[in-house]
Structure 1
Amino acid sequence: MSAENQPAAGATGGSARGWTLALACVAMFMLMLDVTVVNVALQHLRKTFDAGFSDLQWVIDSYTLTLAAFLLTGGSLADRLGRKRVFTTGLALFTASSLAAGLAQDVLTLNLARGVQGVGAAVLFSVGPALIGHEFRGADRGKAFGLFGGIAGLALALGPLIGGLLTDGLSWRWIFLVNVPIGVAALVIGLAKLNESREKSPHPVDWTGMVTFGAGLALLVLGFLRAETSGWTSAPILGAFAGGLALLAVFAVVELRRGEAAMFDMSLLRIRTFTGVCLATLLSNATSLAAVFLQISYVQNVLGYTPWQTGLRFMPMMITLFVVAGVTGGTLANANPGVLIGASIGFIAVGMGLITLVEPGSGWTAMLPSMIVTGIGMGLFNPPRAAITIGVVRPEKGGMASGMGETFQQVGVAVGVAAFGALFHHKVLADFTASGAGGALGARAESVGRQVAAAGTGGLQDSVPADSLAEVTAAARSAFVDALGDVMIWCAVFAAIGAVIGFVLINRRDLHESARSDAPVPNAPVPA
């Protein structure tokens, strides 16, 4: 073992491994909780800050955008500067920005804090799996990632419920403030207990790659977010898309020229399994997280449930996710990874298609088939994804591989929420204005339609005459439900493509020997 990878003075291998897994799981719990906990509080945020649909999208996308943009940076810096150092820095940044978000007095400040929070989350997302991959080998690595995936599933399961409890019982601010004491405690333990590790001969930091990738991704997501408002063919939107694609092309050229010194090692994309898991991850997250965002909006804005009540009604999906993730974790050492990934996204696709069972007059129970099947798919997907992503490289490259894999995950979330959200907004507006009730409103139909897309049927009594309220409400509910079904079908199609990619490209032969079940475990006792 190289000097760079020796356990820290005073730490034993076994205890360091335990603390590493525990802290990575705690960090993952906070991060995954933040993915879903915010959704149920969006309508309280809308009322507090008088925010529109686009502003609410930014509450999610300002986090996922910076998270996606800095994932490569986090993983690359960790391999070069030290995984413990970078991980604890990210933890401190995430904790401080959570405090700022909880204290925000306007939506701009909140979204700026969420952006900084995403930077800290990027570091934790990319370095956490690399820390586990460095400390664990073979069958033990499979078990560790099984627990890691189960904790991610638990956070997703509890997210809507915790968000509803904090929002209704205290304030939406506590969905952010709750991170502060947990983050401080984890930071103290991490500084004391984690081992340091890094590449043996690190290359200089790839600043050009960091800037071109982050800026290019930001412009692309900005284009999706603002296209519905500004017009898809308007000069600013076309400029954002063109600029984003140009910067990403420059990034690709820079990374190819840097070779082994690149923050994004293009040679990894020659490995079928790595390419397969990245593309499958992109499509899975682009569809599943966008679906959750829109379905929670339906339960709150059309069915009229409070955040706490919404969280309770999403528990069937989330409990299914958690249980399946826990069972899947125990099979990682022996299961075919391509079958796991392909089947998981296949379940997600079917679950999204089942949302068509919901009709304008349906209650929330019409969503149960979709919730259960989607929960099975998400639970199957989470444990193997991280393990496969770093499993194709030697351990000292784990940070880069993890950062690349997490980048595809979070790019999927950011682009998916933005793109499918824009499609949903367009469909609601078009269906409502084309309805008889919308036509009767005349010039006001478009503004009311935008209100329906952002806030459902709530508040219509303040926007339309009393004598037409019933008719407008029925048309609004029909437009919302029809648009939800149409968008979920598109989500199902893209998820199905991800399933095919998983089945075809991912295989066990591409895994590095340290990821296989017969690999030796580091720091294991030497037989007498």
Structure 2
Amino acid sequence: MANAKERTLHRSLICLCAAELVMMVNTTAFNVALPNIAETLKAGMAQQQWIVSSYNLVFAAVVLLAGFLGDRLGHLKTMLAGLGMFVVASAIGLMAGNVPALLVSRSIMGAGAGVVIPMGQALLGVLFRGPGLSRAMTAWAIAGTLGVPFGPLVGGVLTATLGWRGIFGFDGVVFLAVIAIIRMNVPQTGGSRKSRSLHVPWTSVAMMFAGFTLFSTGLVNAQHGVLAADAWIPMTVGAALIAGFVLHDRASRNPLMALDLMRDPSFAACAPALMMLNFSMYGIIFIMPAYLETVLRHGALVGGMLLMPLVVASIVGSRMNDWLVSRLGPRGTSLLALACLAAGMLTIGAAMWWPNEAAKQSTVLIGQLMAGLGLGAGQPAMLTWAMGRVPVEQSGAGSSLLTVFRQFGSIIGVGIFGSIQSGLYAAGFHDLAQSAGLNPQSAGSVTLDFQRAAGFAGATGDLTRQAASRAYESAMTGSFTAAAAVIVVTLGIVALISRATPR
């Protein structure tokens, strides 16, 4: 009996890790296709931000509802429903001929991810306890860590061979296979119609979604200036709605969010720490493809391959997790991971100052390795630290709450990186183009400026590309430096919250 149970748990872990892997490959594979999409659909930087942010916004809106339903209806049933959303979204994306259709597809995928990821973590929290939970979370983290940076390589191959629509075709086939495998191998857990109310608190869901949407809108519009009315007003109203949602949910008899878990210092410290992991991942994956594919002119396939140092370092960091936790504890490992992320961001930004191209790329490589180590070592340590404090009956709610923080990190990662990058790029291009006697008005992104340069003959085209390249590299310095500062501040907050936590 013990051996049979062990085999069941082993198969379940493999299947859940496979789901996490293909989910995260899907999430970031799309980013490497953004330059190709921008060229095909004439999408500017703001539209590209929305293509990425629509996924993250719906993800954040759905994730708490998924935890609410999963604890009542069953984690496995809820997870399978989320995987089915990816199949539907893939069919829509395959036929999309414009940006709005693409937004619909990515939004449905975001809803699916908002269900699958917290349900996967919840299933692990129920199936495994004690030392087994740590090993399971490490395997889960390795799968997710692999998927995030490995996604650009898959996306690069598909985009180079089949075009960006090939990603959607690939998704449809893979997610159908994952659904079949999970149904056959993972046992149903959780869910009790009798003991817990199924009445959905739609007011809380609406307030949270509206708050995140408005806040993200303000971040996207901040590329034209933080003090612009269409930037600070949506951000302010969005922040007020998010605060209102928290107060409303705390007072509700049927809360959507298990805020009582935040009373535990370990859980409360992990929330902002995990938020910074996604902030860093999505920021890097959003900014780097245009640099590698457009500025350096490598194309989607090579551009994806040039992000592989992040993959390798993430794997190494994940494999080092047990060794680090045994010596530093989960708190020390989490703080070290955040420090590595901040150092990696600062290194990538500083690399753009090198006049020598070889030195520049070597420094970018070092930055990727440092950030990758932080991502790989941090995720399993933080998840195990937090989920080990969550009661079994609240596994779905606890996982969903952590995932909301992670997804909010994705939203602000794309928003802050994108807006700073876009604003600095537009200003830099204006100055460089004007000094070269060119039209100082940017077409909206470095990809579109390179596309416009292709229509100019002789020196004009070369000067336009040179101005666009230099402006984008200079903007990267500002973006990654600002990101490092945000991570350092969060590091201090996490250290302060968890200072009384035992090692």
Q: Does TM, scored on the shorter chain, surpass 0.5?
A: yes
**Structure 1 position 198 matched with structure 2 position 175:** no
Query: 2:422, 2:445 within 8 Å by CA — same for their partners in 1?
Result: no
Cα distance in 2 for partners of 1:20, 1:105 equals 39
Q: Give the match for residue 135 of structure 1.
A: 127
Query: 2:216, 2:415 within 8 Å by CA — same for their partners in 1?
Result: yes
Query: 2:75, 2:191 within 8 Å by CA — same for their partners in 1?
Result: no
Q: Give the match for residue 214 of structure 1.
A: 209
> Cα gap change, 1:232/1:465 in structure 2, threshold over 3 Å: closer, same or farther?
farther
Cα displacement string for residues 46-86 of structure 1 (whole angstroms, at most 9, x for unaligned residues): 12212211222222111111112211111111112211211
Aligned partner (choices 14, 35, 41) of residue 27 of structure 2: 35
Q: Give the match for residue 242 of structure 2.
A: 248
Query: 1:199, 1:396 within 8 Å by CA — same for their partners in 2?
Result: no
TM-score, scaled relative to structure 2 = 0.91
Cα displacement string for residues 204-237 of structure 1 (whole angstroms, at most 9, x for unaligned residues): 33222112111211111122123435x6455544
Q: Give the match for residue 257 of structure 1.
A: 251
Residue type at the aligned position of 2:96: A
Cα distance in 2 for partners of 1:235, 1:327 equals 47
Cα distance in 1 for partners of 2:257, 2:154 equals 36
Residue type at the aligned position of 1:70: V
Cα distance in 2 for partners of 1:380, 1:165 equals 28
SS at match of 1:367: helix
Q: Give the match for residue 228 of structure 1.
A: 223
Cα displacement string for residues 240-297 of structure 1 (whole angstroms, at most 9, x for unaligned residues): 22432232232112111126x3121222222221121111122332234212321222
1:61-140 aligned within 5 A: 61-140=53-132
1:136-175 aligned within 5 A: 136-175=128-167
Query: 2:39, 2:448 within 8 Å by CA — same for their partners in 1?
Result: no
> Cα gap change, 1:225/1:166 in structure 2, threshold over 3 Å: closer, same or farther?
same
1:502-517 aligned within 5 A: 502-506=494-498
Cα distance in 2 for partners of 1:237, 1:471 equals 33
Residue type at the aligned position of 2:176: V
Residue type at the aligned position of 2:290: S
Cα displacement string for residues 343-386 of structure 1 (whole angstroms, at most 9, x for unaligned residues): 01101111111121233652533411111111111111122232
**Structure 1 position 325 matched with structure 2 position 318:** yes
Q: Give the match for residue 522 of structure 1.
A: none
1:289-368 aligned within 5 A: 289-328=282-321, 336-355=329-348, 356-358=350-352, 359=354, 362-363=357-358, 364-368=361-365
The ranges of structure 1 where at least 4 consecutive aligned residues each deviate by more than 6 angstroms after the TM superposition are none
Q: Give the match for residue 476 of structure 2.
A: 484
**Residue 164 of structure 1: CA displacement?**
1.2
**Residue 165 of structure 1: CA displacement?**
1.1
Cα distance in 1 for partners of 2:44, 2:405 equals 28
Residue type at the aligned position of 1:216: G
Query: 2:90, 2:172 within 8 Å by CA — same for their partners in 1?
Result: yes
Cα displacement string for residues 409-457 of structure 1 (whole angstroms, at most 9, x for unaligned residues): 111111211122111111111122233x325557x41235x343x5464
Q: Give the match for residue 18 of structure 1.
A: 10
Unaligned runs of 5+ in 1: 1-10, 512-528
Aligned partner (choices 366, 389, 407) of residue 392 of structure 1: 389
**Residue 506 of structure 1: CA displacement?**
3.8
Residue type at the aligned position of 2:453: L
Query: 1:130, 1:402 within 8 Å by CA — same for their partners in 2?
Result: yes
> Cα gap change, 1:330/1:135 in structure 2, threshold over 3 Å: closer, same or farther?
farther
Query: 2:32, 2:289 within 8 Å by CA — same for their partners in 1?
Result: yes
Residue type at the aligned position of 2:397: M
**Residue 390 of structure 1: CA displacement?**
1.9
Query: 2:64, 2:397 within 8 Å by CA — same for their partners in 1?
Result: yes
Cα distance in 1 for partners of 2:448, 2:498 equals 41
**Structure 1 position 48 matched with structure 2 position 45:** no
Unaligned runs of 5+ in 2: none
Residue type at the aligned position of 1:281: L
**Residue 31 of structure 1: CA displacement?**
1.6
TM-score, scaled relative to structure 1 = 0.87
**Structure 1 position 405 matched with structure 2 position 399:** no
> Cα gap change, 1:466/1:284 in structure 2, threshold over 3 Å: closer, same or farther?
same
Query: 1:431, 1:479 within 8 Å by CA — same for their partners in 2?
Result: yes
RMSD: 2.6
State the identity as a percent.
Answer: 25
Query: 1:98, 1:113 within 8 Å by CA — same for their partners in 2?
Result: yes
Q: How many residues align?
A: 495
Q: Give the match for residue 181 of structure 1.
A: 173
Cα distance in 2 for partners of 1:468, 1:186 equals 51
Cα distance in 2 for partners of 1:170, 1:412 equals 32
Cα distance in 1 for partners of 2:119, 2:291 equals 35
**Structure 1 position 373 matched with structure 2 position 370:** yes
Query: 2:351, 2:363 within 8 Å by CA — same for their partners in 1?
Result: yes
> Cα gap change, 1:459/1:446 in structure 2, threshold over 3 Å: closer, same or farther?
closer
Cα displacement string for residues 382-422 of structure 1 (whole angstroms, at most 9, x for unaligned residues): 22232223222111101111101111111111121112211
SS at match of 1:197: coil
Residue type at the aligned position of 1:307: A
SS at match of 2:96: coil
